[in-house]
Structure 1
Amino acid sequence: MDGDRRRNEREFILAAMVGNIDRMKEFLEKGVDVNCRHPYGWTALHTAAINRRSQVVKFLLDSGADPNIQDNFSNIYQVARENRTSPISVEVLRESEFTTLLRHDQMYRGCTALHYAVLADDHESIQTLLSAGANPLNTNEYRFKPEDYSRDIGMKTMMQKHSERYIAEQKQKQVEERRKFPLEQRIKQRIIGQEGAITTVCGAIRRKENGWYDEEHPLVFLFLGSSGIGKTELAKQVAEYLHKGKKNAFIRIDMSEYQQKHEVAKFIGSPPGYIGHDDGGQLTQKLRASPNAVVLFDEVEKAHPDVLTILLQLFDEGRLTDGKGKTIDCKDAIFIMTSNLASDEIAEYGMQLRAEADKINQQRYEGRPEDLEITETITISRRFKEKIVRPILKNHFQRDEFLGRINEIVYFVPFSRSELLKLVGMELEKWAKQAKEKHNIELNWDPMVFDVLADGYNVYYGARSIKHEVERRLVNQLAMAHESGLITPGCTVFVYADLPKSEEEKYKLQDSPSPIKIRVKSKGTDNFTDVDPSEHLKSSGQEHEKK
């Protein structure tokens, strides 16, 4: 069966080579993938483009072919080694099933159909590919764009104009996309709360995107606040927004690894003649690969002062010199430092502001409970920043010029009650999804569960404390019940809160087990049954001891 599939794919690509569209339709009806590859790496679209089959190119694109798919063929010698055959056999097959136009001493790996259409000087195919979304800026493995394969100045000029038009169109699309779906909305889908922090960061990013920033200096942020409150996640979301998921566009450096003077070499690389000279630095290597990345310096307060001197050069001049003396220009990068300095003061101040906001809300909307979840943006006063936070930062970093190169100091405050309930909801949804996917168990809950779990919030550990509370009070019970056979595939689990009904009862139960309880409805039954996994485990252990 697998042999038939491979044979059909090869015949489909040969039909593209000779321009037999009717034959190609037959293979597509048989289930052949329009983007299937020849054993040596090219696709039907590549074959049609290099052989000037413009009608076939149009047919393939209309059938769903990817205009930007890349060829995997490297050179006849490497392919021969990979397939355990001779270079001559590879050469003969390539000329008979792909093209005779390509030179054997040149490398084409990573070429798109547009590269091949330019090389074949096929204007009609080029226009068809561009109209279908082919990117004229795509480079192959050897950094060549389609225009680099132009045979004359006329073709090169035409491709350069297409590239300029493509860049302008992409910029316009990005502007429209940002207008329809602002950065704030995107980030708020992933981060609970922190309205003030998100607004500050998005404002700075917007200035940069639209050309309203100092191009001689990179953008620098300092994120302050307790652990588990969204600092790292916000940095990740900025990188995701700006670079659309490119893995090397988000660089995270743990500054607790650079507490000693000699570890500066690990940061930027050792000078010539020293051990590790050829390895390069952890930061410089990554910045050289992606000079416009979002760089996160985690727990920057733990770094040695000599490392901070390097950061000062980086923030001030937008460039960095590595251990080999080579300079990396990174003015387009965004640098984000996180720190726990003044986190206790910010948490205490934030809680005070939250309490004041809640009191005002209660008074303003008394008698209208549906409005009580209004979110108040907590604004940190200038006096608090100047009189409380700045002296702490200045005392630690010991240099005004370092703080002076920070564009925005961003404050992350404790969560409000409504935000905590959302965090609990996210955690429960995550575990419900896992229960369904891994164990085929339906997990539902009573709304009162949210309040009980939200009470486990610890202002110094942020969202992590909610995560741990859900695991401790609920997930532990589910795991015990699963191990004991109390919950089985196909059953439904209902989570509820067994709360005390009076103050006296509340006092008696203050040291008792979790008020989070579970009921189970087995597959094929109609009624729920209360189960207590810990009691079941205890009784099972006693029976085992008797035996």
Structure 2
Amino acid sequence: MLRRTLAARIPQIARANTRSSYARTVSLSLAHGFKRSLSTINSKATNPWPARAITTGILGSVSLSLLYASKLSALETEVNGDQVCQAIVDNDMKLLKKLTENSNFTPNCYHRHGWTPLQTAVIQDNIPMAKLLLDLGADPNLEDHYYPKTHEEANTRQSDFSPELLPYRDYRKFTALHYACIIQNPEMVELLLDHMADPTARTAHGLTPREYLYYVERFTGEKNLKIETALRAKEKSYPVDKAAYDEKVHKAQKQKEKEYRLRHPIEEALKSRIVGQLGPIHAVASAIRRKQNGWHDEDHPLVFLFCGSSGVGKTELVKGHPSHTYHLPALASHLHGKNIDKGFIRIDMSEFQHKHDVSRFIGSPPGYVGFEEGGQLTEKLKDCPNAIVLLDEVEKAHPDVLTIMLQLFDEGRITDGKGTTVECKDAIFVMTSNLAQHQIADEAELLRLEAKTDHDSQSTGINSDDAKQTRLDTEKTQSDKPDNDITLSRRFIDRVIYPILYDHFGRDEFLGRINEVLFFLPFDEKELKEITSRELMRWAEKAKKRHNITLTWSPDVVDVLVEGYNIRYGARSIKYEVERKVVNHVAKLNENDEVTDGGRVHVTVQETESGGRRIAVSVPDSGGDKKSAGWFGKR
């Protein structure tokens, strides 16, 4: 009699907000077909208070353990699935919202034992939390991976997921919709179906949510026609609804990305990172923008060739330097953000100078050494087909490697040593080369000299109103140029540079598959000062962070350091000049304890007896203990 009464009342009790833990335990035990649990409760029905006391004691112990765990998790800096699930189990909406605001949060994270926060919210029958996670992008079709292997995992399942589910049952491939059928809440089911939960998803035992609902109803004794009708209707319309939903999400995502690009133009991101080189920056940005907005050839990847001297920003434009503390974005970090580890592939082509190195590029064929390892390029492209691939110093690669790259650039795919075809039509390939670097540098310097001579000649002569107006018009025209810099003429490129490229690569078809060949020119005086200032700032940040030493300098220090610029080595020559003339002095002062923690070093310029200028450093504040002790405590 009691068994029939409980079976009839369980669905109503399960939906009540004030249902007792005792009644819910009965409900979910029945739903999972464990007659032993029901018979145990039935046998103690005449004296239910001991069972309630035991349940209260267990829940009290669990609450204490959860409180202790939440205090420990508060000390963690990164958001993980355990923390999110714990906030849901504790019904702490304030903490959940705080976790979702963390930059490291993802709604599709997993608990360490295999379930998702959305599944936790569903089994807790918490619609507000489930809706919050779904609005943040939680995938309702993610599968539960929980399979009990130890008693510890089973205990964790009850404390971090639900204390009312049987902990030793196999829940593999359960989705949030399956758990919604367990709690028999039509509103939760509708919420999940509205967010494209798959009604045809099957558990590890092959049951869809509707089939599992029958399994639950068999032990509760009551059919939930509203849930069954909703599931049956969605099963028929799901393919069409899913396609329409995906298209809607795709359009919304594209619009969101477009709005972001309008607010953060790629040119500005690259200019903040790269000094000068406005021509290559605008060319790359224009090509990327065409690709992002669908105005490109989808059958071929974008291919660039960067030519110019060493140290002029070719590699920096693609990736940037991760050691820079000001973290300005380059191309790879701008496009891939936090996924730059996979989204950026750098291959030094000087490592592929021999014929047999081809196997390392695409992988060894079956039966050869290294077959299981795969190729350096192909394996990484499998992980991220839309990666930015930097092929550094491409002129040093063996011709057979270039032959492979022909297929890569022309068809947007490459076949590895195992015979697997890797599609990479959405990738962006950037090759760098030092070919014709001397010709490019010499021509750029000549053009700058001619431009300066023309400007000086226009600035001299009779100081008449007409001469003044001519000079002002010339200066305004130069400042209005989009690049505000000299550019190589088409005649020079066709007659000088291209013959060098054709002569080296030996094939027209290789260069013909390159979208744009961009030329990086030597820096002018203004750009050199900017590079020098950035390098000093970088070392000032390092001095502060590593040694708590403040490094300052006078403006004329930059002018003196710029004099160490070597056109053949580019920005690297400035970097080495700063290290030799500034960092060496500061490091020596620190080593001799002349400046320590909390001290300050100021860099100035002094006149030499011969009329030259040299870098000098002074210590306005030595920092540390002002009465520093000697070897034996005295000085």
Does the aligned pair in 2 maintain the 1:248–1:289 contact within 8 Å?
A: yes
**Alpha-carbon distance in structure 1 between the residues aligned to 2:347 and 2:84:** 49
Q: Is residue 317 of structure 1 aligned with residue 411 of structure 2?
A: yes
Return the offset for 1:212.
Answer: 2.1
Contact 1:449 1:516 in 2 (8 A): no
Q: 1:114 to 1:101 in 2, by over 3 A?
A: farther
CA distance in structure 1 between the partners assigned to 2:83 and 2:358 by the alignment:
59
> Hey, what's the Cα distance between the residues in 1 that align with 2:606 and 2:423?
61
What SS does the corresponding residue of 1:498 show, helix, strand or coil? strand
In structure 1, distance between residues paired with 2:432 and 2:143: 42
Q: Which residue among 53, 58, 69 is the counterpart of 2:126?
A: 53
Structure 2 runs not aligned, ≥5 long: 1-63, 74-81, 211-230, 320-329, 461-467, 626-635
Give a deviation string over 1:423-474, Cα, whole Å, max 9, x none. 1111111111122222222221110011111111111111111111111100
Shift of 1:261: 0.7
CA displacement 1:476-502 (0-9 Å, x = unmatched): 00000001111122222211111358x
Does the 8 A contact of 2:66 with 2:159 survive in 1? no
Corresponding position: 1:289 with 2:383: yes
Matches within 5 A, 1:8-407: 16-17=88-89, 24=92, 40=113, 46-57=119-130, 68=138, 74-77=145-148, 80=149, 85=151, 96-97=162-163, 104=170, 106-107=172-173, 152-154=235-237, 157-236=240-319, 237-246=330-339, 247-360=341-454, 376-407=484-515
Specify whether residues 127 and 341 from structure 1 end up closer, same or farther in structure 2 by C-alpha distance, changes over 3 A only.
farther
Equivalent position SS for 1:338: strand
SS in structure 2 at match of 1:207 = helix
Shift of residue 181 of structure 1?
Answer: 2.5
Q: Secondary structure at the match of 1:205?
A: helix
Q: Which deviates more from structure 2 when the two are superposed, residues 464-473 or residues 515-524? A: 515-524
2:618 aligns with 518
Q: What residue identity is the alignment partner of 1:48?
A: A
The alpha-carbon distance between structure 1 residues 136 and 318, as it changes in their structure 2 partners (threshold 3 A), is farther
Q: Could you tell me how far 1:100 is from its partner in structure 2?
A: 6.8
- Seen in structure 2, the aligned counterparts of structure 1 residues 11 and 395 have a Cα distance that, compared at 3 Å, is closer
Q: Does 1:487 align with 2:595?
A: yes
The 8 Å contact of residues 605 and 616 in structure 2, kept in 1 or not, is answered as yes
Cα offset, 1:123, TM superposition? 8.4
Q: TM-score, normalised by structure 2?
A: 0.67
Task: Kindly state the Cα deviation for residue 296 of structure 1 after the two structures are TM-superposed.
Answer: 1.1
- The 2-side partners of 1:255 and 1:31 are apart by 44
Whichever residue aligns with residue 172 of structure 2, its letter is Q
Deviation at 1:157, TM superposition (A): 4.8
CA distance in 1, matches of 2:155, 2:588: 62
Q: What is the identity, as a one-letter code, of the residue corresponding to 1:217?
A: H
Pick closer, same or farther for the CA change 1:41–1:428 going to 2, 3 Å. Answer: farther
Instruction: Pick which of 193-202 and 29-38 moved more.
Output: 29-38
Distance change (3 Å), C-alpha of 1:399 and 1:518: same
Compared CA separation, residues 477 and 332, structure 1 to 2 (3 A) = same
Which of structures 1 and 2 has the bigger CA Rg?
2
Deviations 1:399-437 (Å, cap 9, x if unpaired)?
Answer: 111111111001000011111111111111111112222
1:521 alignment partner AA: D
Question: In structure 2, how many angstroms separate the alpha carbons of the residues matched to 1:398 and 1:192?
Answer: 33
Give yes or no for the alignment of 1:6 onto 2:114. Answer: no
Q: Is the 8 A contact 2:600 2:620 kept in 1?
A: yes
Counterpart-to-counterpart distance in 1, 2:181 and 2:595: 63
Q: How many residues align?
A: 493
Q: Percent identity?
A: 44
Equivalent-residue separation in structure 2 for 1:392 and 1:148 (angstroms): 67
Aligned to 1:533: none
Distance 1:68 1:385 in 2: 53
Given the superposition, is the C-alpha separation of residues 57 and 223 from structure 1 closer, same or farther in structure 2, using an over 3 Å criterion? Answer: same
Structure 1 residues 161 and 97, CA gap change in structure 2 (3 angstroms): farther
| Gap runs ≥5 in structure 1 | 526-547
Q: Deviations over 1:312-332 (max 9, x none)?
A: 111112111111222122122
Compared CA separation, residues 55 and 291, structure 1 to 2 (3 A):
closer
* Change beyond 3 A, Cα 1:421–1:101: same
Equivalent AA in structure 1 for residue 413 of structure 2: R
CA contact (8 A) 2:84 2:99 kept: no
Residue 214 of structure 1: how far off its partner (Å)? 2.1
How large is the Cα RMSD of the aligned pairs?
Answer: 4.6
Find the aligned partners of 2:396 and 2:526 in 1 and give their Cα distance: 34
Q: CA 1:318–1:14 in structure 2 vs 1: closer, same or farther (change >3 Å)?
A: closer
Q: In structure 1, what is the Cα distance between the partners aligned to 2:257 and 2:305? A: 27
2:93–2:129: 8 Å Cα contact kept in structure 1?
no
Tell me if the contact between 1:148 and 1:156 (Cα under 8 Å) persists in the aligned partners. Answer: no
Question: Which letter does structure 1 place at the counterpart of 2:618?
Answer: I
Look up the equivalent residue of 2:264 and give its one-letter code.
F
Q: Structure 1 length normalisation: TM-score?
A: 0.76
Change (3 A) 1:48 1:160: farther
Q: Separation in 1 of the partners of 2:83 and 2:337?
A: 37
- Contact preservation (8 Å) 2:143, 2:173: no
